Structure 1
């Protein structure tokens, strides 16, 4: 094997085109080797994969939402948003069970009820001091009701008398009474609550104002007074008689006599 052939084989083994032998003419130019490919960094491939997976998951979620009904979709979206919201509030109820203090049997027949609405305007001034400095005025529209009832608890056998022929029954009842007024806080409302500067500063330390409590107490007294002056007790008396006549007549009595003492 000649020296030239050995050089040619060595060049082929190194991956380069063989050089023309010396003395064979003009040498041909050698083409440059192709550049080596650069591989994608692993962190970039991972990021692209995460974004593609997130896009697919979002597409699945929105597809499910579009397939659900409006109410289910809104509920699902609300739960999803509340779950992702870091400022979502929650309520924890640590209240204890109610404790029974007393129990009493009642035998009242409510025979009438009256509804009232009263405007209470209370103003408390401080002498020689302007109203914007000290003093307060409270105007409330208070709604309440009063029941008229007959108390059957104290009735005895002597209160009911039946005639010898069994056709007449006589019932003796106590006079109707008026219950304490009940204030309906849901329908009552405040129209004006003006306080002076000193009283407003005091509100920071005492949130339960005495003026509102006084206004509610005054409204309760006015409703009770109005019920006493009305014919609510007469209406209760008439309704009681009518009710007993229907009940006892159905029991076989021809005549029912009701007296109040």
Structure 2
């Protein structure tokens, strides 16, 4: 065998490279991520996304809403948070009364009450008190229809005139509007302040309110509120009875 033939055989016996995907390693299965690890990673990813959404929503809220949320959280975590327990009972009906009052006029009043209680020979800074209240109230003028009977209404023979006899208008008790009333000055001496530690000082305020109620009642009695009530009642009855076919509606008080 010549050298040329030997070289030719060696070249022909060279092993060709194994194609990709074939050979002894081609049939080995690929490694997969364990199911438990995949579940944990999925949970962490979902939690991260949820936290991002919550944080983004929190930043989009207004300041007052964020403050309200923080206050709610802090209140729930505070072991000394106070609460209200309502043990009130159901209201019990004491009495019921049918009313037939026609409120014909109303007057609004505001009165300034200045009451001062001094102790003789003792300076005001030591003993005594002064309270100044601006009190708002109202008074109604009404006509009571409860005692009206058949004789209160009289129709003329020709049926063109109706006469209604009513009682005189009355003034109701003044109603004090506590929401609109306010205290301007409330000074007390040292002794009275010490007494307030053991008992609330409500007598002076009640006395001031009672004084205001009396003054409002006197002002209403000295006004033309009753005359306005007569005029308004007359015009109301005329408007109600004229469409019934009466040419004249007469309203008398007495």
TM-score (norm 1): 0.73
Residues 108-119 of structure 1 mapped to structure 2, 5 A cutoff: 108-119=101-112
Residues 226-245 of structure 1 mapped to structure 2, 5 A cutoff: 226-245=219-238
Given candidates 146, 149, 158, the residue that maps to 1:156 is: 149
The answer to whether structure 1 residue 179 and structure 2 residue 179 are counterparts is no
Distance 1:68 1:206, change over 3 A: closer
Match of 1:10 in 2: none
Match of 2:75 in 1: 82
Q: Which runs of 5+ in 2 are unaligned?
A: 1-43
- SS of 1:253's partner is coil
* Equivalences, count: 209
Give, in angstroms, the shift of residue 61 of structure 1. Answer: 3.3
Contact 1:203 1:209 in 2 (8 A): no
Counterparts of 2:160 and 2:239 in 1: how far apart (Å)?
15
Match of 2:10 in 1: none
The answer to whether structure 1 residue 137 and structure 2 residue 142 are counterparts is no
Q: Which runs of 5+ in 1 are unaligned?
A: 1-51
Given candidates 83, 105, 113, the residue that maps to 2:98 is: 105
Contact 1:159 1:172 in 2 (8 A): yes
Counterparts of 1:233 and 1:204 in 2: how far apart (Å)?
47
Contact 1:135 1:196 in 2 (8 A): yes
Given candidates 117, 121, 129, the residue that maps to 1:124 is: 117
Deviation sequence 1:53-100 (CA, Å, 0-9, x none): 9x9475453245357788876665554443334443322212111121
Counterparts of 2:217 and 2:61 in 1: how far apart (Å)?
58
